[in-house]
Every structure is written in C-alpha cells, then in structure tokens.
Amino acid sequence: MKKNVVYLLGGIVISFLKKKLLKMKLTFLFLLLSFVQLMAFQGFAQSKARLTLNLDNVKVEEVLLNIEEQCNIYFIYNRDIVDVNRKVDVSYDNQGITRVLSDLFSGTGVDYEIRENHIILKSSSAQSVKQSITVSGKVSDSSGAHYLE
C-alpha cells in the first residue's frame, strides 16, 4: 500500500493530493487570465477598416453616412467647420478608411481623429485658445461676515 505523504508548510499540514489540487487550480486560473487578456487585445481597428464607395455628385454628408453604414462608426463634427454640403465624386474599391478620409478632406482645412468607433472631424488650423480671467470680490456667508478679500 502507498502511504499518504504529508508535508509541513509553515506549521500547516498539507497532504500530497491537496498540493496537486492547488497546482491544478493555479494553472487553470493562469490559463483563464491569459485567455481573458488575449480577448482584451481585440480592439476597435477602424483605421484598418476597408470600404467600397461609388458615388457621383453627392454631398459630403451622404458620403459620411455611407461610411457610417459600412464600417459601423459614427462621425462627430461641427457644421460650421466642416462643409458637408460640398458636392463630391468618390470612387473607392476596398480602400482603407484613412485613405478615403484623407482624399475627401484634402485641401479643405479639415482634419480627422479616430477614437474607437468615432471619427472626430475638426479644423486643421484649430488651436486651443486659453483665456486668462481675473476674478475679484469678497467671500461672505448669509449673515454678511467676510471670510476672504
């Protein structure tokens, strides 16, 4: 008969079978976490999305709607900055979305930024304007007592 081997670990008695079971549980947990991590890498790769467009004498807005339908993305833009009423002719066969957008907005002063499943259209000359405002006054409570001046 085989003896049940007993190990001492920090004052705790652990049998051989319990030790094997612990190794199996840890191995399973490691494999599960590795699988979950691999699933997290499957992100939104809209910059590599391929599309086919054949449109003649249509507004830019209609081209954007066709891109939204084919690639399952959404455009965010300000109508004051982006001229969506401009008429264009587009003909692309299995082209990347970055090439289509670059050609569509070349020479218009419109730039784009891809964030997950949204494409933000903005003015290429737009710079963030920071304004400095000086605030002065007195801080008081409801009874009129001043705290800061």
Q: What is the pLDDT of residues 1-38, one digit of tens each?
A: 566 655 555 545 566 677 888 889 999 999 888 887 77
Q: Which two tokens stand for residue 73?
A: 């993305």
Predicted confidence band at 138 (pLDDT cuts at 50, 70, 90)? confident
- Please report the sign of the dihedral spanned by the C-alpha atoms of residue 86, residue 102, residue 69, residue 75: negative
Q: Which two tokens stand for residue 81?
A: 């900055």
Q: Across-strand partners of 111?
A: 122
pTM strictly above 0.75: no
pLDDT single digits (tens) 23-76: 899 999 998 888 877 765 544 455 567 888 999 999 999 999 999 988 888 999
Q: Give the list of residues 6+ apart from residue 50 with CB closer than 8 angstroms, or none.
A: 94, 95, 96, 97
Domains and CATH numbers, the chain: 6-40 (no CATH), 46-123 (3.55.50.30)
